[in-house]
Amino acid sequence: MTATTEPLPNGKPNLLAAKRLGIQSVQEAQIFMRKDCHVCRSEGFSAHARVLVSHNGKSVVANLYQVTSDIVAMDEVGMSDSAWDSLALHDGAMVTISHPPPLESLGAVRGKVYGKRFDSASLKEIVTDIQAGRYSDIQLSAFVTACAARPLAREEICALTQAMVDAGDRITWNKRPIVDKHCVGGLPGNRTTPIVVAIVAACGLTIPKTSSRAITSPAGTADTMETLAPIDLDIPTMRRVVEREGGCIVWGGAARLSPTDDILIRVENVLDLDAEAQLVASILSKKIAAGATHIVLDLPVGPTAKVRTREAAEALADSLAEIGAEFGLVVRTVLTDGTQPIGRGIGPALEARNVLDVLQIRQGAPEDLRQRALVLAAHILELGGAAGPGEGAALATATLDSGRAWTKFQRICEAQGGMRVPRVAAYRRVIAAATGGQVTTLDNRKLAKIAKLAGAPEDNAAGLELHVKLGDKIQPRQPLYTVHSESPGELAYALNYARANTDIIGVL
Amino acid sequence: MTATTEPLPNGKPNLLAAKRLGIQSVQEAQIFMRKDCHVCRSEGFSAHARVLVSHNGKSVVANLYQVTSDIVAMDEVGMSDSAWDSLALHDGAMVTISHPPPLESLGAVRGKVYGKRFDSASLKEIVTDIQAGRYSDIQLSAFVTACAARPLAREEICALTQAMVDAGDRITWNKRPIVDKHCVGGLPGNRTTPIVVAIVAACGLTIPKTSSRAITSPAGTADTMETLAPIDLDIPTMRRVVEREGGCIVWGGAARLSPTDDILIRVENVLDLDAEAQLVASILSKKIAAGATHIVLDLPVGPTAKVRTREAAEALADSLAEIGAEFGLVVRTVLTDGTQPIGRGIGPALEARNVLDVLQIRQGAPEDLRQRALVLAAHILELGGAAGPGEGAALATATLDSGRAWTKFQRICEAQGGMRVPRVAAYRRVIAAATGGQVTTLDNRKLAKIAKLAGAPEDNAAGLELHVKLGDKIQPRQPLYTVHSESPGELAYALNYARANTDIIGVL
């Protein structure tokens, strides 16, 4: 059925000279071509096409913008920084522009929208296409939304996890156990990781901790840790840190562990969606890729935390444990109190200062953060065999209170590239109570939103500092919290929201 | 709770001089600012922020791209054409850039993802935000995907329809009935509308037909009609055409009838998704806004048509009739054969030529297209009272065969701005049968895909021309279809797909 009777006309080759336009796009690559250049005309590109840009054996799918001005010449193609970097170009390099092959894996996404199960092959294909940059924002969003609206079955989550592991690098360690911890998030300020890693490593266990940046929160552990030390370590550097100190706290994305996760996270962030399947695959794929064998999970539960009920928490814990077991992981889940933020700071640098207070055993260090870190460290010490059953808590407390954890933390920071001092924001404003009474509620989501509006996590000094906790008795005009921001515009933006939402801290 | 203790620092106002960059973006507005300009710094915009751009009382939400080169100066903001046009700018106009208010309506989209019903107020808010350009592609895609994955209940579809009507203009007519027709689509080449309108208007009924451009198909009626006459008429012009000739065939978007539909269609097109709720709201909102009172719907059913089973067709017909009734519309649905394309052409100009063949009663005009148009016209003539029950078919046939429909069609084209001759594509290639036998299947979707890969509907001459129908006996090397394209690149792209899919036309 493929006989042809007319010759295919040979056009000019689809070559244009690359020009770096210095445009920063986050993930979607962009190119700019004259609407009337020979390539647009011969290929018949439409005004908003997805095109395949190739150079020297590398290729990237980009959004094409047609241009009628002289920001590019007729024989040039303007490139955004991400397009430029993916192809490792130099100025004037000749690039080929053509139609990308049809995105076949989108058919499986469409099937999922209508309730069909993913099979392993289609999830593998989807993740491969996403990792290669073949999904546009519209298509990424459909995948993320479909997985939230049509919850994935266990086998689908396993296959998604495996595909995400396979899309990146993988670290193997020549010893066991390799312990790890993770918090499911949704609780502002719950920054136990640096403390837990310091305690556990000081007790001789191996804990190569990789963390994420914020998904929908004002700070991820990676964002917070970055205010204290470099976190974008490659795998050989990370391995050297762990071999020397027994632990590290690095950004998973820099190590290319499950890198697709970071692409999905950007979209989840815009939508404020965090589906169970993606949550589980995100957590486990990073742990598997990092070579962990024993994991303790912190699962905060509360009406405004990410997980709102004990039933939902138990279902998620089961899902994590069972899917973890499929990959040979021992997963222990700890349900914790998620009714209010932990510590006082919300935002990378503000949380980092609370972490330092606990590690340095300072007077006035947030007791809730200290206790939460000790509980989790205790579980890991037992799970990893450094303490007998029921003996983890005493060992964790002794390690922290003796200063051994603080010493270990400083050594880890030095090994990662040198310890840093967290910044203080340029603009601050106190929000005070209108009336006196007792603090009865703190809305985690709205507090997190204020911190984000103030600029967190992009501006690491931005966020807010809480001055009250549940149950506190307060006077009229007593400070409730302070908003921190690096720009007057964002400060105003956060304050507008704070003023429009008088139910953020309930006082009765 | 809003007392403040520190003054808000006053920055320089967020003003920059507008510069038109001549960049064509389809719907998302884009702006380009120096990363180090005073506005980016004082507002703390991140690399891929959504920003509010305002000038002279108008405003638009745009994607911000930060620039490190000199395509814009420090005191300038570069604007895409769509941003420029929405603000009606002139060069050097001072525009204000600020943070947009939080997109509250996205909360309802998130609720729908997790299975919560939309209420009328939230759908109204969503449609208003979409129409105002406040939804990014990621957010639009989440809305479209959520509506497909979590089918909307009747009240939700009614509310969506009402919100879409309210977002645009509305035409009222000082007579009744106002008849109309619509085809649910999915059947390539099913271009009955121009023929039906000509017959019905020639019989004295009033049929102000507004049509859509392609959603997921290689041609919408508006695309096809555009090759024969101007279709982007404003409402006063459309009204003059209808008052003079009793009918018109115009693009609904140009008349701003349910304009949000066109924004959603672009996203549905990328995803190849067309959920029932959006289908119903799309059809009915355009009809209601156009002032129709009596509607006949053509619903083709077949294994590769948009509606695949009789049950699904009947459910959709019920939904359209019942929701139509809520708005006072009389809706009659006609289930038709959707097992193969209608006519021979697939693509705007190729379909237009088939339409002309039928209207001009030419020898060799496609009989299936003629019959389908007559059946639909007959139903409308009866529904609108121009023919008694059972007498519609005879009147429709007489009107077509006497040449009265052809005369009416020419008068309508003249009234719309002048009749045009459809283009012929520059590049054509015949696909021939590998083996002989009988044609047993035609895959509507794959045939449509080839036409789209060849450049339809953007290039209106692109598409394909079928040389065989179901049941035809053919010889080896006998032509099956001819691919038409306006560029060698797209021709090659379509042929690659045709060669990789040998099951498009089944021969046994």
For residue B33, give the amino acid letter: M
Tens digit of each residue's pLDDT (9 = 90 or more) over A43-99: 667 766 889 999 999 999 999 999 998 899 999 999 999 899 989 999 889 999 988
Q: What is the pLDDT of residue A3?
A: 32
Select from A10, A99, A138 the residue whose CB has the most chain B CBs within 10 Å, as the one to mutate to test that interface.
A138
For each successive 10 residues of chain B (508 residues), what is the average pLDDT? 35 79 85 86 72 92 91 92 91 89 93 96 97 93 96 95 95 93 81 97 96 82 96 93 96 82 87 86 92 94 84 92 95 91 94 97 95 97 96 98 98 97 96 94 89 90 95 95 93 89 90
Interface probe for B, chosen from A1, A35, A98, A114 (most Cβ of B below 10 Å), is A1
Q: Is the bond into B457 cis (omega within 30 degrees of 0)?
A: yes
Q: Does B453 touch chain A (CB under 8 A)?
A: yes
Chain A's closest residue to B504, CA to CA, is: A1
pLDDT confidence tier of residue A252, bands split at 50, 70 and 90: confident
Q: How many CB atoms lie within 10 A of CB A72?
A: 22
pLDDT given for residue A186 in this prediction: 64
Residues 6+ away with beta carbon under 8 Å from B423: B227, B349, B460, B461
**CB of B106 within 8 Å of any CB in chain A?**
yes
Q: What is the pLDDT of residues A127-139, one digit of tens each?
A: 999 999 999 999 9
Compute the mean pLDDT over every residue in chain A, rounded to the nearest whole number. 91
**Partner residue facing A65 (CB), from B23, B270, B480:** B23
For residue A60, the model assigns a pLDDT of 92
| Residue B487: count of CB within 10 angstroms of its CB | 23
Domain boundaries, chain A: 15-98, 106-166, 179-257+271-416, 427-507
Contact residues, chain A, for B102 at CB < 8 Å: 449, 453, 497
Distance set, CA B289 to CA B40, B169, B210, B383, B441 (Å)? 42, 7, 10, 20, 39
Residue A497's contacts (CB-CB under 8 Å, 6 or more residues apart) are: A449, A450, A453, B102
Note whether A376 and A192 are within 8 A (CB): yes
Q: Is A10 exposed, middle or buried (0-12, 13-18, 19+ CB in 10 A)?
A: exposed
Q: Are A22 and A72 in contact (CB under 8 A)?
A: no
Cα distance between residue A38 and residue A6, in whole Å: 23
Chain A residues closer than 8 Å to B31 by CB: none
CA distance A214 to A191: 12
B242-262 burial, b at 16+ Cβ within 10 Å, e below that, comes to: beebbbbbbbbbbbebbbbbb
Half-sphere exposure at residue B391, Cβ-oriented, CA atoms within 13 angstroms: 7
Asked if the A427-507 domain carries CATH number 1.25.40.10, the reply is: no
- Please choose, from the candidates A468, A464, A463, A467, the residue with its C-alpha nearest in 3D space to the C-alpha of residue A441: A468
What top-level class would CATH report for the domain A15-98? mainly beta
Q: What mean pLDDT is predicted for residues A432-446? A: 91
Residues 390-449 of chain A whose Cβ lies under 8 A from any Cβ of chain B: 427-434, 449
Gap between the Cα atoms of A60 and A81, Å rounded: 12
Q: Widest CA span of chain A, in angstroms?
A: 89
Catalytic residue ranges of B:
274
Asked if A183 and A193 count as a contact pair (C-beta separation under 8 A), the reply is yes
DSSP symbols for A101-138? PP-TTHHHHHHHHTTPPPPHHHHHHHHHHHHTT-S-HH
Question: Would the pTM of this model clear 0.90, i.e. be above it?
Answer: no
Q: List phi, psi (to 5°) of A19.
A: -130, 125
Closest Cα in chain B to A5: B430
CB contact under 8 A, A44 and B5: no
CA nearest to A210, candidates A190, A193, A188, A185: A193
Which residue of chain B comes nearest to A64, CA vs CA? B25
A500 CB neighbours in chain B (<8 A) are none
**Band (A9; pLDDT cuts 50, 70, 90):** very low
* Residue % of chain A over a pLDDT of 90: 70
Tell me whether residues B449 and A102 touch, CB distance under 8 A: yes
Q: Which of residues 196-235 of A touch B (CB under 8 A)?
A: none
Assign a CATH topology to domain A179-257+271-416.
Pyrimidine Nucleoside Phosphorylase; Chain A, domain 2 (3.40.1030)
* Chain B neighbors of A81, CB-CB under 8 A: 68
How many beta-carbon contacts under 8 Å exist across A and B? 273
- The residues of A annotated with a catalytic role in the active site are 274
Which fold, A106-166?
A: 1.20.970
For the domain B106-165, what is the CATH code? 1.20.970.10
Contact B113 A4 (CB under 8 A): no
Q: What ipTM goes with this model?
A: 0.82
- Give dist(CA A107, CA A199) in Å, integer: 48
**Residue B298, beta-bridge partner list:** B183, B334
Across the range A339-354, mean pLDDT stands at 94
Which residue among A48, A113, A495 places its CB closest to the CB of B273? A113
Residue A44: its pLDDT value, please?
Answer: 67
Residues 6+ apart with CB under 8 A from B496: none
Q: How is residue B277 written in tokens? A: 């709720």
Could you tell me the strand order of the sheet in which A473-474 lies? A473-474, A437-442, A505-507
Record: contact A106-B272, CB cut-off 8 A = yes
pLDDT > 60? residue A10:
no
Question: Which token pair is B89?
Answer: 């700018």
Does the beta-carbon distance from B99 to A489 stay under 8 Å?
Answer: yes
Determine the 3-state secondary structure of B505 from DSSP: strand
Rounded Cα distance, B149 and B219, in Å: 26
What is the model's pLDDT at position A7?
35
E-state strands within B21-163: 23-24, 29-34, 50-55, 58-67, 76-79, 94-98
- The Cα B212–Cα B297 span in angstroms is 15
Are the C-beta atoms of B216 and B187 separated by less than 8 Å? no
What was the pLDDT predicted at B98?
Answer: 87
Q: Do B66 and A502 touch (CB under 8 A)?
A: no
Assess A3–B contact: CB distance below 8 Å, yes or no. yes
pLDDT exceeds 70 at position A1: no
B245 touches chain A (CB under 8 A): no
Instruction: Decide if B98 touches A, using CB distance below 8 A.
Output: yes
Q: Find the closest chain B residue to A487 by CA distance.
A: B42
- For A257-281, what is each residue's pLDDT tens digit? 888 988 998 898 889 887 888 889 9
Is the separation of the CB atoms in A430 and B6 below 8 Å? yes
When pLDDT is cut at 50, 70 and 90, the band that residue A288 belongs to is very high
- B67/A24 CB distance under 8 A: yes
Class of CATH domain B179-259+270-416: alpha beta
Which of A479, A489, A502 comes nearest B44 by C-beta?
A489
pLDDT digits (tens, 9 = 90+) for A224-250: 999 999 999 998 999 999 999 999 999
Report CA-CA distances (Å) from B178 to B47, B247, B385.
52, 10, 11
**What was the pLDDT predicted at A428?**
96
Residue B11 pLDDT:
41
